Chains A and B, each alone.
Chain A
Amino acid sequence: MPILEVKDIRKSFGSTEVLKGISFSLEKGQVVSVIGSSGSGKTTLLRCLNFLETPDGGSIAVNGETIFDAADPAARREADIRRNRLHFGLVFQSFNLFPQYTALENVTLARKMLAKEEADYRDRKKELFAAIEDDARRLLARMGLADRMDNYPHQLSGGQQQRVAIARALALRPDILCFDEPTSALDPELTQEVLRVIRQLADDETTMVIVTHEMAFARDVSSRVIFMDGGVVVEEGDPHQVIDAPTQERTRRFLEGYSGKY
């Protein structure tokens, strides 16, 4: 059974239809990269998965359980949406760290808020928080930030900030971690350190959906590649096939813009 099954997702802004029926599925431990030109709807797709946008049509199932179905109005209840979001994590292009918190606090904040909803929170607060902090330290160390835990975001480089953001998303143990052009705001050197971390996550079989313009990276790290254009999936398949020998004319034209760069 696929861990994620997206069926016929549609989304319009006003009269422009940005997603015109996107379907794909993902097995546990797989990495799918989404490529496509600017405006093709990649960000909108990730925002729909994370319920930052409500799709106008289609359904989303995680582990065989339908967590969203546009035909069912009950799917729009805020409390349910918030719970369902936890199946997904999202790493933004612009990091969006909380500036008033240290790296460690950025990673622990949401977990601590969620801990308050546990039945035995009052009695076990200390214990719960200690576990959350241990976990966060371990994650930050894994991101190569063991000596940066007490720094505030403005004291960190872009690459370090993005790695904190990845740790922050991982702290909630999402089933599927999404990345929206995680390195687009970084210069080449910092890009490599972030890609290295994502590659390591892939090796550890983290299920991921990665929107990226780094073609070489997408080819190396992905189980599958999806090429989107104009709100539809134009081509999907094995990364080497899609990137090195695309069957569709539109994919070929898009990739020509990258030729020699990967």
Chain B
Amino acid sequence: MDQILQQMPIVLKALNVGFLQTLNLFFVTGLGAIPLGLVIAFGSMSRFKPLSILTRLVVWVVRGTPLMIQLLIIFYFPGMVLGSNIWGKGEAGRFLASAIAFIFNYACYFSEIYRGGIQSVPRGQQEAGLVLGMTKSQIFFKVTLLQVIKRIVPPMSNEVITLVKDTALARIIALQEIIWAGQSFLKGSHGIAGAIWPLFFTAVYYLIFNGIVTVLLGKLEKRLDYFR
């Protein structure tokens, strides 16, 4: 016990650094995947058949295979084919590869949620706007969008909470996120070896962060409660 207390500041410091990288990946994925998902959604709903079929095929493959495989392929494959690591050296390179894999994977999941949300807005809404002389883009931004947001907030919340935990997958290409940091004390780091408790501790970080995310998204859902 005494020993744990002694080691605590060192461990927390390392976990904080790891968690910062977890947060980086989380926010970069969110910022990239939320808009990219919309682009993919429009692609999959395109009236130009080849585009919609191709888009849906890609989405199906990405959603049908583990993110971990996608991470490994994106990180190692270019190097094997081109003979050089296109991602750049060290942690920055691993982060770039992780971010791209995560953004693309999550954009595909988001696109399906968006598509469902857009298609669930009754056609009459668009028609009412058209008859009132509004342009298609005015209708999208002033009429449809908020109704879509209201409908997608609950399923998006689930995805976002999954994303918080999925960031741990980047450990597979040795991104130095919080699991990597916790695990390092098993093998020996900062003069501490064979300690399992830091790994348990990482769970607390996830729980607290997910708690905050859940409360914030719940608030957003409430704010959209004023209409039906």
A interface residues with partner B (beta carbon < 8 Å):
50-52, 82-83, 85-86, 88-90, 92, 94, 96-100, 109-110, 113-114, 152-154, 168-169, 172
Contact = CB atoms under 8 A, between A and B. Distances in A.
Contacts of A168: 132
B124 A100 contact: no
A114 B133 contact: yes
A113 B124 contact: no
B177 to A, nearest CB: 39
Contacts of B146: 100
B22 to A, nearest CB: 36
Q: Which 5 A-B pairs have the closest CB atoms?
A: A110-B132, A96-B124, A96-B128, A154-B228, A100-B227
B128 A154 contact: no
Contacts of B135: 82, 113
Interface in B137-172: 138, 142-143, 146-147, 150
9 contacts: A50-B131, A82-B130, A85-B130, A99-B147, A99-B228, A109-B132, A109-B134, A113-B133, A113-B134
Contacts of A113: 133-135, 138, 142
B226 A96 contact: no
Contacts of A96: 122, 124-125, 127-128
Interface residues of B, number: 21
A52 B147 contact: no
B129 interface: yes
Given A96-B127, A100-B147, A110 B134 contact: yes
A16 B124 CA distance: 23
A52 B130 contact: yes
Contact of A92 (B124, B142, B150): B124
Contacts of A89: 131
A249 B135 CA distance: 45
A100 B141 CA distance: 12
B139 to A, nearest CB: 9
Nearest to A98: B143
A83 B150 CA distance: 31
A92 B128 contact: yes
Given A85-B133, A152-B227, A153-B228, 13 more contacts: A52-B127, A82-B135, A85-B130, A89-B131, A96-B128, A98-B128, A100-B226, A100-B227, A110-B132, A113-B134, A114-B133, A152-B228, A153-B227
